[in-house]
Amino acid sequence: MKIALINASPKTGRSASASLLADLSAFLSGSASLVEIGLHDATLPGQFLQEPGDIDVLVFACPLYVDGLPGHLLSCLLQLEQAFVTGPVPAVYGIVNCGFYEGIQAETALELFENWCRKAGLVWGGGIGVGGGGGLDQMPSSKNGPKAPVLHALEQLAGEILQKESPQNHYVSVAFPRFLYKLAAQMGWRRSIRANGASPKDLGRTPSAPTPYPPA
Amino acid sequence: MKLIITDLTQFHIPIEGEYKLIHPRESIHHCVGCFGCWVKTPGVCVIHDGYENTGFDMGCCQDLILISQCCYGSVSPFVKMVQDRAISYIHPDFVLRKGEMHHKRRYKNVISLSAHFYGDPITDREKETARKLIAANADNYDGQVGQVCFYRSAKELEGITL
Cβ pair B113, B137 in contact under 8 A:
yes
Cβ pair A44, A76 in contact under 8 A:
yes
Q: Count structural domains, chain B.
A: 1
Residue A216 maps to a domain: no
Q: Count structural domains, chain A.
A: 1
Q: Containing domain of residue A85, as a range?
A: 2-176
How high is the mean pLDDT of chain A?
91
> Which residue is closest to B80 within chain A, CA to CA?
A71
**Percent of all residues in chain A with a pLDDT value above 90, rounded to a whole number:** 76
List, for residues B49-83, the tens digit of each pLDDT value.
999 999 999 999 999 999 999 999 999 999 999 99
Q: Containing domain of residue B113, as a range?
A: 2-25+33-159
List, for residues A97-119, the tens digit of each pLDDT value.
999 999 999 999 999 999 999 99
Is the Cβ pair A186, B94 closer than 8 Å? yes
| Closest by Cβ to A189, choosing from B31, B39, B107 | B39
What ipTM was predicted for this assembly?
0.96
Residue A32 maps to a domain: yes
Instruction: Kindly report the CATH number assigned to the domain that includes residue A100.
Output: 3.40.50.360
B119 near A CB under 8 A: no
pLDDT for res A86 = 77
Give the confidence band of B44 by pLDDT, cuts at 50, 70, 90.
very high
Instruction: Kindly report the CATH number assigned to the domain that includes residue B37.
Output: 3.40.50
Cβ pair A27, A34 in contact under 8 A:
no
How high is the mean pLDDT of chain B?
96
Residue A215 maps to a domain: no
List, for residues B125-156, the tens digit of each pLDDT value.
999 999 999 999 999 999 999 999 999 999 99
Backbone CA torsion sign across A204, A210, A212, B2: positive
> Which residue is closest to B82 within chain A, CA to CA?
A71
Chains A, B: CB pairs < 8 Å: 157
3-state secondary structure chain A: CEEEEEECCCCCCCCHHHHHHHHHHHHHECCEEEEEEECCCCCCCHHHHHCHHHCCEEEEEEECECCECCHHHHHHHHHHCCCCCCCCCCEEEEEEECCCCCHHHHHHHHHHHHHHHHHHCCEEEEEEEEECHHHHHHCCCCCCCCCHHHHHHHHHHHHHHHCCCCCCCEEEECCCCHHHHHHHHHHHHHHHHHHCCCCHHHHHCCCCCCCCCCCC
Is the Cβ pair B38, A189 closer than 8 Å? yes
